[in-house]
Structure 1
Amino acid sequence: MKQQPVLLGIDAGTSGVKVCAFTPDGALIQKEQSCISIVSDKPGYAEIDVLHYWTLIQDCVKRITTNPAITVIGIGLSTTCPTIVMMDSDYNPLGKGITYLDNRAANEAQEYASSFASAEAYENLVGNRCSVSTCSASTMMWIRNHEIERWRKTSHIGMLNSFIAAKLTGNSAIDTTQASYSGIFRLANPEDWDDDLLHVAGIPRGKLLDVVQPSTCIGGVTRLMADTLHVVPGTPVAIGSGDTAAAAFAIGFTDSHQAFESAGTSGVLTFVLDKPKFNPLFMNRCHVIPGLWVSHGANSMMGGAIDWLRKNVLTEFHDYSILDEEVTHAEPGAHGVVFLPYLAGERCPVWNPHAKAVWYGMTLETSRLDLLESVFEAGAFSLRQIRDIGEQHLGISIDSIIAVGNGTKSTRWCQMKADVLQVNYATTSFTDASAYGAALMGGIAAGLFSSPLDPSIPFLKPDGKTYQPTLSPGYESYMQGYNIYKALYPALEHLMS
């Protein structure tokens, strides 16, 4: 029987694992996934059990590779970012992985920032502001300061994809898209760790894995792991990238007049830059495509807030399709109720790990439907705020948005975003762009494509529905809510320290 060659994209996000098999020309053959939850044992903690992730990844891969009609020719990785994984000399994890939602290292971030002449001096040097989610060195410093034995046993500091790559190949590294959020790497000259910054942070270079390009072949699948996963020994593995960077690569994102939204647990609006001129209001990083950078405006809990609402408030709605149907019956403006979605602190634009979520405008007449509508509207308002800041500070003009992710399955939410931002909002028929971007990197590692610039790469196109902006009667209600949304945090900031 003739076998179909496929590329595997492994996407390990904050809410689950997806493994997708694609033909070399981009057709999806099979998708397997498993859900997982973030562990929060203490206030401010947000961790993942990386061994459980690895078990789920293996299970998903095997559900694909047991199909005798396919053969895997390359594997790529995409992971939630940054997620620090401390490993011993054999790449075994030492404790749980610490995600970007974890705020325990806020004091270390402040300590590190205070070592520089000013916040601006640090930002000009590194390319990002010194916050926990864009300075993973602060988390390394926290472990050094508070978990001395764990630090002593650590031989390798990596990210989640570093750990997965080590399990697959016995080799590991950190890719440039995740090194960009370390605080010990100069984004304008993205070659290697910076020795001066390492000295200031007090982190030994010897504990850090090497920095490589995302499409780098980190090695081949070991014979032992090949037997376990039913793949050919030596199958090439690309180290991959952070999930949003992988999704941006999947659509071949290079147009400065477009923005790209990844609508998942976080809502991330991305702009592309052809010069290393960064604004600290955004999360800036290397693109998977060499010579380009991307700036992310990240709302930490855009989709996560809807999940929180479903689990804790509207508990009778067991899945998102029911919520999506229910919100179509809501009134734009939510009868004056506005939600500030800072359930896990917030990144862009307030950059406060202590920021809190707020419902404003509730009365005796407020209904559960109003609460639901307000959470959906908060996602659109956050996106509008990030777009407006991007146009103001980056000198760009956005006339359309390409969106991927599970959030694009909600037609009401997509139309709401088009209306609130007054832009064309285009979706792709395939929502798992991070997995696809990972698979494409696996294709480069396998030699199927020559580089991320290879014109034969079958990038995703916006072939789903395009939502045109309207000025319906609801638009005025949206704008009233948006103006309140923008005013809420400044009014309450003094209470959120």
Structure 2
Amino acid sequence: MSTYLGIDLGTSATKGVILRDDGTVVARARAPHPDSRRGRPGRADPAAWEQSLVAVCLQLAPELAGVAGVGIDTHCPTVVPLGANGRPVALGVTWDNPALVAYFDRYSARRDPADVRSTGNHPSPSTFAAVAYHYLREAEPEAFAQLVTLGFAGTWLGRLLTGEVAMDPTQASYSGVFDTIADDPAWLSGALADLGIEASVLPPVRQPMDLLGTVSSTFAELAGMPLGIPVTVGCADTPAASYALGTGPGTRPFLIMGTTHVVNSCLAAPDLRARALQRRGVRPGEWLINGVTNGGDALASAAAVFGYGDKESAVAELVRLGAGIDGDEVLTAPFFVPHVMPERGPFWFEQPCAGLTGLHRSTTRAQLARGVLDGVIFADRMVLEATIPPGEDVIYLTGAFGEDPVLPQLLADATGRTFDVALEPDLPAIGAAAMCAEAVGRPTRCRLSTSRVRPRPESAALMEQRWQSFRAQWSTLSGREPLPPLSPTRPHDALARS
């Protein structure tokens, strides 16, 4: 049997799996990125990514020698400016960089409304990553003068492995200068001209399962990887996970609870409302709708600020305490509005919007923890209701909680939904490896075990009361009406392009 390496370059760590072509994971590894951007909000250091990537490859060395190909996926969108030698000329620019708001305000209106519509997305700094071109031009002119390719994290990773550059449609969809809704997607030449962006700096757009090139001698020596094996173009992390789950039009949606919480569904035509994030799918003729909230960041931030332990154990302690109370203790717990950083669709907060309400002197440590948990999960419920029509009986759920049943059960109780929990923490890496297998003619079906979690009837009344109270507190703090649920009479496909 053949094996394939899947590399998942995440926001906080690199993960790798060795996938056999019967769908079995035979080895896996993880290495956190060194914390090299302290004090640089909105920037990311590709040198740190490279360190964690090499560490993962070295961990997998016993199995790596026999792999037949490499598939890749990355977090998105993070812009990485590359020079003539393919190396970064400056730190990467992440979608939540505070400086991008001013550049968005200055440049977004220069795009023709038809071009904005063609992006398939609500105008926002998070869907207009190409504006980093002007940010780098003004903030770092010496680096900008060396710019040859304005890529995303996936462009950087592919160039590091093979010496070739490309960008796939799942990442290009968040550039703000890419035709996401067309049958034949491409860069929007009119938008580039209106914005004064040199079209020559943008990499060619290629499909995720195209072969980008082969592992170069430089990287093979650096990481102990076989020389000359094929590498696919790859895609963003959520689309890679969707491939692993077999997602396609008409299949069940899924929720990933990681650093970011993402509700993902797949359509056979674009949704022109641009209510949530929209990107091209892994296959031509598919569109992914991503409802997003920064749930993992919110949990980690609150656990640290409220003193639930050190960095490694704080979230687990918060979950343990918060889940351990019931009845009146839950009913009188405070509420945490969890938007600790800018939010993408469907919230579209360009600035953080977080707070704690209902705290009083008799509030216990466990009640405070429950307030945080409910706030994060109720934000997930808002996203689910705004992006998934009622009537979806079961939703896939995956995340960093492993086999711990506590968080999935709280989520089911708070949302009233039934979830099939996929007990697999490395879905994006598995999807990337499986896409490579398909690209070289050995398609495989990923083997996933699931456990079903249903809402507990005895919790329904309490959670509904908490939900209604949270909606009121959320609206007061945010100054907005709560997100309206998606109407069952007008699902995504009914509003798709005719």
Q: Common fold, TM-score beyond 0.5?
A: yes
Tell me: CA distance 1:424–1:89, structure 2 relative to 1, closer, same or farther (3 Å). Answer: same
Determine helix, strand or coil for the equivalent of 1:174.
coil
State the Cα deviation string for residues 229-254 of structure 1 (Å, max 9, x = none). 33322111112111111111110112
Structure-2 separation of matches of 1:248 and 1:402: 10
Distance 1:408 1:274 in 2: 32
Amino acid at match of 1:280: A
The one-letter code matched in structure 1 to 2:203 is L
User: In structure 2, what is the equivalent of residue 144 of structure 1?
Assistant: 137
**Where does 1:85-100 land on structure 2 (aligned, <5 Å)?**
85-100=80-95
Q: What is the root-mean-square deviation of aligned Cα atoms in Å?
A: 2.3
CA distance in 1, matches of 2:248, 2:287: 9
Q: Please give the TM-score of this superposition, normalised by the length of structure 1.
A: 0.89
Matched, 1:206 2:192: no
- Equivalent in 97, 105, 122 of residue 102 of structure 1: 97
Of 468, 477, 483, which aligns to 2:454? 468
Q: Match of 2:325?
A: 330
Residue of 360, 364, 367 corresponding to 1:367: 364
Determine the C-alpha separation between the residues in 1 that align with 2:331 and 2:407.
14
Name which of 15, 20, 26 aligns with 1:18: 15
Which whole-Å CA distance do the structure 2 matches of 1:222 and 1:117 have between them?
42
Partners of 2:62 and 2:342 in 1: CA distance: 43
Matched, 1:164 2:157: yes
Partner of 1:424: 418
CA contact (8 A) 2:267 2:288 kept: yes
Task: Structure 1: give runs of 5+ residues left out of the alignment.
Answer: 450-456
What percentage of aligned pairs have identical amino acids? 24
Between 1:414-423 and 1:404-413, the stretch displaced more is 404-413
In structure 2, relative to structure 1, the CA distance for the partners of 1:487 and 1:349 (3 Å cut) is farther
Residues 439, 334 of structure 1: alpha-carbon distance in 2 compared, 3 angstrom cutoff: farther
Aligned equivalent of 2:79, options 74, 78, 84: 84
In structure 2, the partner of 1:459 is 446
In 1, the alpha carbon distance for the partners of 2:408 and 2:90 equals 39
Q: For 2:98 and 2:55, locate their aligned partners in 1 and report how far apart those are by CA, in whole Å.
A: 31
What is the rounded CA distance, in whole Å, between the counterparts of 1:371 and 1:140 in structure 2?
Answer: 43
Name which of 463, 480, 487 aligns with 2:465: 480
Give the superposition deviation at 1:221.
0.4
1:48 aligns with 2:44: yes
- Which residue pairs with 1:9 in the alignment? 6
Could you say if the C-alpha distance between residues 364 and 273 of structure 1 is closer, same or farther in structure 2, counting changes exceeding 3 Å? same
* Structure 2 gap ranges (5+): 481-498
TM-score normalized by the length of structure 2: 0.89
Q: Is the 2:213–2:231 contact (alpha carbons within 8 Å) kept by the matching residues of 1? A: yes
CA distance in 1, matches of 2:270, 2:105: 25
Q: 1:408 to 1:62 in 2, by over 3 A?
A: closer
Q: Write the distance in 1 (CA, Å) between the matches of 2:429 and 2:189.
A: 34
What is the 5 A alignment of 1:262-281? Answer: 262-281=256-275
3-state SS in 1 of match to 2:66 = strand
Report the Cα distance in structure 2 between the residues aligned to 1:379 and 1:296, rounded to whole angstroms.
17
Deviation (angstroms), 1:133: 1.3
**1:433 CA displacement:** 0.4
Contact 1:7 1:442 in 2 (8 A): yes
5 Å-filtered alignment, 1:436-451, equals 436-449=430-443
Answer yes or no: is 1:261 the counterpart of 2:258. no
Q: Look up the match of 2:278.
A: 284
How many residue pairs get matched? 474
Aligned partners of 2:36 and 2:48 also within 8 Å: no
Superposition pairs of residues 170-189 of structure 1, within 5 angstroms = 170-189=163-182
Write the distance in 1 (CA, Å) between the matches of 2:427 and 2:251: 20
TM-fit CA distance, 1:336: 3.4
